[in-house]
């Protein structure tokens, strides 16, 4: 299978919607159905910039200058962006997103098997989860988000659409709450740059990924000055590779299928040292 893709889809927020940070309580969100890929109790209690540099075993996060839409917290030389709140739902579901981002091309590029388990990290209101669901009719889409309000919207939409293979999962800032070696593909679309604990999240995703499974990170191309997105809501391939490889993933391909975004395919090695 080409690239099984492992996937928080809180979206890039340009201009007014970006950087609306709200701390929300971890309210339980009951699953539509039990799912073997979920960790035990994961739905109730799963919880001047520094230069680009190699991973440091002793220093993980560094405080530095704070940008207008940043946190002032740096990981491997990158300032972590502030998180979009529930007020950004309209941005997630905007009508022109189909034309601007071409989600159809992204979903089509994923070489999925009918029985795959896919994790959509930062699923928000289910924009990608419901597009992935028909591709895995015998499998599951685990729609992971840290905001209970987002998952309530997603669950309501599941009922309205009659979709039975999308399960809402309440994660935390440090873990998606998935069982080890349970996920074939994890997809993170336009939200990785906002993770408050990227190292811990990637480590947890790595553990949840089956050997040979994949993580796909989609981010606006920071190398391209013509991409009209705020600086902290874009990422270079080099930075993403640095962070992915720091926890053991291997970058196997950068798919050139989207107008403005990288599609970075990482893999958990089959034969780990």
CB 272 within 8 A of CB 248: yes
Per-residue pLDDT, 29: 35
- With a CB cutoff of 8 Å and minimum separation 6, the contacts of 109 are 3, 255, 257, 263
Per-residue pLDDT, 17: 34
Q: How many CA atoms lie within 13 A of 11 on its CB side?
A: 24
Q: Which two tokens stand for residue 41?
A: 């109790």
Q: How far apart are CA 193 and CA 234, in angstroms?
A: 7
Would you tell me how many other CB atoms lie within 10 Å of the CB of residue 152?
A: 15
Structure confidence by residue, pLDDT tens digits, 8-40: 333 333 333 333 333 333 333 333 334 456 654
Dihedral pair phi/psi, residue 160, rounded to 5°:
-65, -40
- With a CB cutoff of 8 Å and minimum separation 6, the contacts of 240 are 192, 217, 219, 251, 262, 264
Per-residue pLDDT, 83: 80
Nearest one of 7, 3, 4 to 195, comparing CA atoms: 7
DSSP β-bridge partners for residue 81: 70
Per-residue pLDDT, 272: 77
Q: How far apart are CA 6 and CA 61, in angstroms?
A: 24
Question: H-helix or E-strand containing 91?
Answer: helix 89-92
Structure confidence by residue, pLDDT tens digits, 158-184: 999 999 999 999 999 999 999 999 999
**Tokens 């705020």 sit on residue:** 230
Name residues of the chain where pLDDT drops below 50: 1-35, 40-47, 49-50, 52-57
């Amino acid at each position: 299978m080409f690239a099984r893709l492992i996937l928080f889809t809180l979206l890039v927020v340009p201009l007014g919607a970006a950087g609306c940070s709200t701390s929300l309580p971890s309210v339980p969100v009951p699953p539509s159905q039990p799912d073997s890929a979920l960790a035990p109790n994961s739905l109730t209690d799963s919880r001047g910039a520094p230069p680009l540099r190699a991973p440091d075993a002793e220093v993980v996060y560094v405080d530095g200058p704070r940008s207008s839409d940043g946190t002032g917290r740096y990981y491997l030389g990158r300032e972590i962006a502030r998180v979009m709140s529930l007020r950004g739902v309209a941005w997630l579901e905007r009508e022109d997103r189909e034309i601007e981002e071409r989600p159809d091309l992204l979903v089509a590029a994923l070489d999925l098997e009918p029985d795959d388990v896919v994790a959509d990290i930062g699923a928000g209101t289910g924009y990608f989860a419901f597009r992935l669901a028909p591709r895995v009719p015998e499998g599951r889409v685990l729609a992971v988000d840290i905001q209970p309000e987002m998952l309530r919207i997603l669950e309501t939409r599941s009922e309205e659409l009659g979709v039975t293979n999308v399960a809402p999962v309440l994660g935390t800032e440090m873990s998606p709450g998935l069982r080890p070696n349970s996920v074939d593909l994890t997809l993170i679309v336009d939200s990785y740059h906002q993770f408050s604990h990227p190292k811990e999240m990637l480590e947890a995703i790595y553990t949840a990924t089956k050997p040979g499974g994949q993580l796909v990170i989609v981010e606006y191309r920071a190398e391209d000055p013509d991409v009209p997105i705020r600086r902290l809501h874009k990422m270079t391939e080099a930075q993403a590779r640095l962070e992915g490889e720091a926890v053991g993933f291997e970058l196997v391909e950068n798919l050139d299928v989207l107008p403005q975004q990288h599609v970075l395919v990482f893999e958990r090695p089959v034969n780990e040292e």
